[in-house]
Amino acid sequence: MTHIVFIGAGSVVFSRQLIADLLRFDDLPQLTLVLHDIDAERLRVAAETATKLSTQLDRAVTVVSTLDRREALAGADFVINMVQVGGIDSTRTDLEIPAKHGLRQTIGDTTGVGGVFRALRTFPLLSAIAADMLELCPDAWLLNYTNPMAMNVWWLSVVAPDLKVAGICHSVYWTVSDLCDLIGVKLDDTHYRAAGVNHQAWLYEWSLDGEDLYPRLRAAIEADPELLNRVRVEMFRRIGYYPTETSEHSSEYLSWFLRSDEQIARFRLQPLEYLGISEENVADFARAQEALAAGEELELEEGAAEYAPQIIHSILTGTERIVHVNVVNRGLISNLPEGAIVEVPATVDRSGITPHVVGAIPTQGAALNRSYLSVAELTIEAALTGNSDRVRQALLADPNAISTLTPEQIWALCDEMTEAHAAVLPVSLGGQTELILP
Give the active site residues: 170
State the burial class of residue 264 (Cβ atoms within 10 Å of its Cβ: 0-12, 13-18, 19+). middle
One-letter identity of residue 53 = L
Max intra-chain CA distance, the chain: 60
State the burial class of residue 320 (Cβ atoms within 10 Å of its Cβ: 0-12, 13-18, 19+). exposed
> Alpha-carbon distance 135 to 141, whole Å?
14
> Alpha-carbon distance 335 to 204, whole Å?
15
SS percent in the chain: helix, strand, coil, step 5:
50, 15, 30
> Alpha-carbon distance 85 to 80, whole Å?
15
Nearest Cα to Cα of residue 75 among 64, 85, 83, 84? 64
Helical ranges in 246-343 per DSSP H: 247-251, 261-266, 273-293, 307-317
**Cα–Cα distances in angstroms (integers) from residue 321 to residues 310, 318, 368, in the given order:** 8, 9, 29
Q: What are phi and psi of 173, to 5 degrees?
A: -60, -50
> Alpha-carbon distance 315 to 309, whole Å?
10
Q: What angle do CA 296, 298, 303 make, to 5 degrees?
A: 150
Which contiguous run of DSSP H or E holds residue 214?
A: helix 214-223
Report the Cα 247 to chain-centroid distance in Å.
Answer: 15
CB atoms within 10 A of CB 352: 14
